[in-house]
């Protein structure tokens, strides 16, 4: 795809700046604004970004062909790549909404909508952390997801659109890799989220190294990780304010998947979370966990420290309407601070 204005940008092509990695953001980062696809694209243009991930079908005002063509044309005029989005695709997971109707038909709709809007991939996920310990075994959720993916394979191949399974706090990277290989690498790949893995005691560098061969897009955010008497503590923060060595991370990223867009998904406002991996009950959710991967995470925690900056946090003691405006403003501020860090420190983005 080429931009119709200014210096044309081609997907996957190196830029004149030498940076060579597309920089964008996931629309869920600014969910408090409730914007439409066109508005998210316009914001990306104002921030001189190269890409946007429209995280779900609710970003589109319509699924009609004329409207979706308008979104596609607008992205082309701005020179912005659209990475498509969808939600949960596992019909047995807690995140699946029964009002979506038949799962196969609904996912096929997602493929058609995202393709019509100009996307070449569609991010999706199995479920969440609860799927590791619920009444339905995790293996059954994986089986159901693989079956669903295989049922839409012909539609995806006909459209030339791949499905990127996200590391969504449900599966560790090696489990996502196995799911992809079971479903079919010809049309299924990975959405590498770097924030969710730390909630499963996984170093994001392990996530990258495991899933880079399958990478279609990303969700990038930072996390503080530090030791705790019960194991470790994690908390999501703006890019550059956490424990992840993103300079080193993107040195590796450039080697392993240089054509994949970096989509910032900056989700601040959550409280610190304890991972009690020094307690036996924790491992009931991870019966096949790999010791060497935990060792990488423990090393990360030993080098980390708590977040000591300012942050508005969601809390039960306050009614949402009392601080919704502050959280909304924080979404924008933390995203824009992260964009600057990505451009100036990590040297990401095709546009100066």
Q: 91 to each of 4, 142, 264, how far by Cα in Å?
A: 41, 10, 28
Residue 116's pLDDT is what? 98
pLDDT exceeds cutoff 70 at 44: yes
* Token pair of 328 as six digits: 């909304």
pLDDT exceeds cutoff 60 at 86: yes
> What is the mean predicted confidence (pLDDT) over 314-340?
87
Residue 315's pLDDT is what? 73
DSSP string, 238-285: -TTSSS--HHHHHHHHHHH-TTS-EEE-----PPPEEE-TTSGGGGGG
CA proximity to 25, closest of 290, 217, 305: 217
Comparing 15-29, 240-254, 323-337, which segment has the lowest mean pLDDT? 15-29
> What is the mean predicted confidence (pLDDT) over 311-339?
87
Q: Please state the separation of Cα 286 from the chain's center in Å.
A: 22
End-to-end Cα separation, the chain, in angstroms: 20
**Token pair 């996200």 in the structure block, residue:** 166
At 7, the pLDDT band (50, 70, 90 cuts) reads: very low
CA proximity to 122, closest of 198, 56, 208: 56
- Round to whole Å and give the CA distance between 136 and 132: 9
pLDDT exceeds cutoff 60 at 22: yes
pLDDT exceeds cutoff 90 at 324: no
> What is the mean predicted confidence (pLDDT) over 304-330?
86
Q: In what order do the strands lie in the sheet with 231-237?
A: 222-228, 231-237, 273-275
Residue 5's pLDDT is what? 37
- Round to whole Å and give the CA distance between 191 and 70: 26
| Percentage above 90 pLDDT, the chain | 90
Higher local confidence (pLDDT), 69 or 15: 69
> What is the mean predicted confidence (pLDDT) over 78-84?
98
Let me know: does 21 contact 258? Beta carbons within 8 Å: yes
| Sequence ranges of the domains in the chain | 23-344
Beta bridge partners of 265: none
pLDDT exceeds cutoff 70 at 61: yes
At 2, the pLDDT band (50, 70, 90 cuts) reads: very low
Comparing 17-21, 113-117, 213-217, 310-314, which segment has the lowest mean pLDDT? 17-21
Comparing 215-219, 300-304, 319-323, which segment has the lowest mean pLDDT? 319-323
CATH number of 23-344: 3.20.20.150
* Token pair of 203 as six digits: 């170093």
Let me know: does 302 contact 345? Beta carbons within 8 Å: no
pLDDT one-digit tens code per residue, 47-56 = 999 999 999 9
Residue 318's pLDDT is what? 66
Please state, rounded to an integer, the average pLDDT across all residues of the chain.
93
Residue 323's pLDDT is what? 84
């Amino acid at each position: 795809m080429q931009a119709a204005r200014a210096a044309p940008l081609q997907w996957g092509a190196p830029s004149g700046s030498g940076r060579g990695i597309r920089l964008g953001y996931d629309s869920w980062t600014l969910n408090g604004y409730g914007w439409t696809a066109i508005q998210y694209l316009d914001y990306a243009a104002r921030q001189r970004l190269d890409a946007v991930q429209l995280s779900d079908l609710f970003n589109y005002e319509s699924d009609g062909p004329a409207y979706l063509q308008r979104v596609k044309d607008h992205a082309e005029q701005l020179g912005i790549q659209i990475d498509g989005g969808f939600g949960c695709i596992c019909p047995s997971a807690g995140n699946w909404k029964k009002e979506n109707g038949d799962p196969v038909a609904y996912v096929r709709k997602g493929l058609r909508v995202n393709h019509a809007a100009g996307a070449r991939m569609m991010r999706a996920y199995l479920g969440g952390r609860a799927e590791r310990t619920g009444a339905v075994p995790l293996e059954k959720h994986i089986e159901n997801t693989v079956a669903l993916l295989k049922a839409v394979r012909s539609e995806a191949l006909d459209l030339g659109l791949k499905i990127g399974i996200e590391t969504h706090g449900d599966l560790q990277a090696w489990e996502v890799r196995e799911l992809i290989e079971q479903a079919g690498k010809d049309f299924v790949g990975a959405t590498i989220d770097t924030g969710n893995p730390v909630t499963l005691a996984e170093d994001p560098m392990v996530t990258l190294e495991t899933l880079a061969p399958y990478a279609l897009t990303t969700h990038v955010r930072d996390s503080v990780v530090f030791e705790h008497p019960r194991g470790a503590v994690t908390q999501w923060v703006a890019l550059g304010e956490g424990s992840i060595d993103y300079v080193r991370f993107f040195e590796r990223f450039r080697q392993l998947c240089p054509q994949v867009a970096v989509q910032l998904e900056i989700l601040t406002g959550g409280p610190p979370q304890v991972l009690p991996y020094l307690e036996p009950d924790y491992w009931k959710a991870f019966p096949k966990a790999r010791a060497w991967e935990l060792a990488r995470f423990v090393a990360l925690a030993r080098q980390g420290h708590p977040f000591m900056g300012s942050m508005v946090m969601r809390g039960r003691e306050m009614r949402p309407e009392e601080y919704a405006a502050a959280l909304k403003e924080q979404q924008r501020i933390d995203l824009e601070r992260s964009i600057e860090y990505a451009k100036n420190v990590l040297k990401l983005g095709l546009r100066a």
